Amino acid sequence: MLNPNFMLIYVKDAKRSRHFYAELFDRDPVEESSYFAMFVLDSGLKFAMWSREKVLPAPTEQAGGSELVFGVDSDAALEALYSEWIERDLAIAQQPTRLDFGYSFVALDPDGHRLRVYAPAEDATQ
């Protein structure tokens, strides 16, 4: 059985994205070069960024076609994180909104990749 444990995004400027995610995750990457950086998150997920110009074969998609999702425990935790990200000047694609699966907002990284935060609805299965 396959068990994905690594997410890779393509970025315009790996150093800029490395700085952005180091602040967002409050940790340094475990591996980096001038065109690549990789973080290992507490969940065990490896999350990396690679300069678009170095990827082979060359990517055809632009940012925004997928999301990195962060689950939080409550609406209050979501509101606190939303306020923190506003203070950090992250671009917001969707303000906190009630959806079928819970309370959610979407921010964007410097390349336009979506960062969704959600607090599950009480009746939603996780």
Respond yes or no on whether the N-terminal peptide bond of residue 57 is cis (omega within 30° of 0). yes
pLDDT at 62: 76
> What are the chain's domains?
6-54 (3.30.720.120), 67-120 (3.10.180.10)
Q: Tens digits of per-residue pLDDT, 14-58?
A: 999 999 999 999 999 999 999 999 999 999 999 999 999 999 998
Is the pLDDT at 90 greater than 70? The verdict is yes
pLDDT band at 1 (very low <50, low <70, confident <90, very high): confident
Cα separation of 115 and 55, whole Å?
22
- CA angle, 32 as apex, 8 and 42 as ends, to 5°? 60
**What was the pLDDT predicted at 65?**
79
Reported pTM: 0.86
